[in-house]
Structure 1
Amino acid sequence: MACKNEIKLTFSEVNISASNNKLVEVNIPNAIGNEDVVNRINATISKNVIASLQIGDLDNMTSKTIEESITTFNKEFQMFKTDFPESMQPWEAQIDGEIIFQSLEIISIALTSYVNTGGVHGTLNISFLNFETQTGHLIPNDKLFKDIESFKKTAKIYFDKTIEDKDIVLENTNIFKLASNIAYSDTGIVLLYNTNEIIPYPTDIIEFTIPFNEVGPLLNFDSF
């Protein structure tokens, strides 16, 4: 019965652009299969890409498609050049996505965005998205676990070891929070902290993997 009801999904990589676009490159996974399921997955990926290209407050987003957001990004640059013609700093945006895990129960996708809107340094951000394979619904981090507090205790051990190995000195080391980005991988559960999640800001992201054999009983989704 389980095999009969199994939802089979595949992914292809798509490149998305717009007319007169010279600043933005988007390469993301596109789900193929059951219409309802893939529509949910692809819509969520698109929403995250659009947010990555938003200039200013996310509450003011007007773009409905990635193509619209690319066009808006280019228009914002032209307005910037009109206001500051002496600026030689080009704008750019690069967004790439990849499937980092896929099983009968869960799909984990990583979206990496680099956006520079004229500053000395651009902003690098990595986001993990976890989907239920059978429905395409996005899974909140707390729903990944049967016992999130026990998982948190294990994660803190790995976190402390990682910052020790990187020689990172943090404030309030007794206050530990799980990363905003948690995902399945082939070897275990990955936790990733973007630089803006840690105070003081480290120069690199903090990332570590907890093997399945250490936390398997704490997980709500099978890794096979």
Structure 2
Amino acid sequence: MACKDEVQLSFSEINVSTSNNKLVEVNIQNASGNENVTKQINSIITKNIIASLHIGDSDGITSKSIEESITLFNNEFQTFKTDFPKTLEQWEAQIDGEVIYQSPDIISIAITSYVNTGGAHGTLNISFLNFETETGNLIPNNKLFKDLKGFKKVAKIHFDEAVKNKDAVLDIATFKLPANIAYNEVGVILLYNTYEIAPYATDIIEFTIPFEAVSSLLYFNSF
């Protein structure tokens, strides 16, 4: 009997910086193993970090590497200090990556970024990236499910439970799935970043649906 060889991949945390960097801390996961697969995964992670460090409209991103983005971030701060020499504001950026699930079929990675370019507080954002283990291709959220409508019904029940004690005004009647969905060791994790579902929802909303509650609805069932 012929069988498909399992793709062997491993991840290690790496720190990315530059010689003159004083503002940015980047600790991300780096994939190693099958060259074609890891190149694809690492490239997508890199693009996510570059976007997180970019200041201004996303259409203006020119960086080709994380190091270049770190340099540009530091340079932008120096320009800011030149323009406003009396300001006491300090900039900072902290980006961390974590593998939250890995199986022969799917890999889920969480990237947490906190960027502060002045003002009362910085911006915290969490991104989930799901990859096909065999190819390294990014999996769109709708491709995670065999039955998207069925999953949404189950998710609505868990969402209502997660927000029932929230002070924020949420329009739960028009429930929608978040931009960030991934697997973890317990089940399917759903995360709404700040302001994603309501202008006054100032906290991250996060909950996990156990695998046993949705296993028949999932495309990837390798747990």
2:195 aligned counterpart, secondary structure: helix
Runs of 4+ in 1 over 6 A off after TM superposition: none
Answer with 192-201 or 51-60: which moved more: 192-201
Q: Show the counterpart of 2:136.
A: 136
d(CA) in 2 for partners of 1:167, 1:54: 32
Q: How does 1:100-179 map to 2 (within 5 A)?
A: 100-170=100-170, 172-179=171-178
- Report matched runs for 1:1-224 at 5 Å: 1-2=2-3, 5-170=5-170, 172-224=171-223
Structure 2 length normalisation: TM-score?
A: 0.97
Instruction: Return the offset for 1:92.
Output: 0.1
Listed one character per residue, the Cα deviations across residues 124-166 of structure 1 (whole Å, up to 9, x for unaligned) are 0000000000000000000000110110011011111110033
Runs of 5+ consecutive residues of structure 1 not aligned to the other structure: none
> Is this contact kept in 2: 1:163–1:169, CA < 8 A?
no
* Number of aligned residue pairs: 222
User: For structure 2, which runs of at least 5 residues remain unmatched after alignment?
Assistant: none
What's the secondary structure of 2:182's corresponding residue?
strand
Tell me the CA shift for residue 18 of structure 1. 1.0
1:70-92, Cα deviation, whole Å (9 max, x unpaired): 00000000000011111101000
The 3-state SS of whatever aligns with 1:128 is strand
RMSD of the alignment, in Å? 1.0
Residues 18 and 70 of structure 2 are in contact (CA less than 8 Å); yes or no, is this contact kept in structure 1?
A: yes
* Aligned partner of residue 51 in structure 1, secondary structure: helix
- In the superposition, the TM-score normalised over structure 1's length comes to 0.97
> 8 Å contact 2:168–2:200 — kept in the other structure?
no
Instruction: Return the letter of the residue paired with 1:209.
Output: T
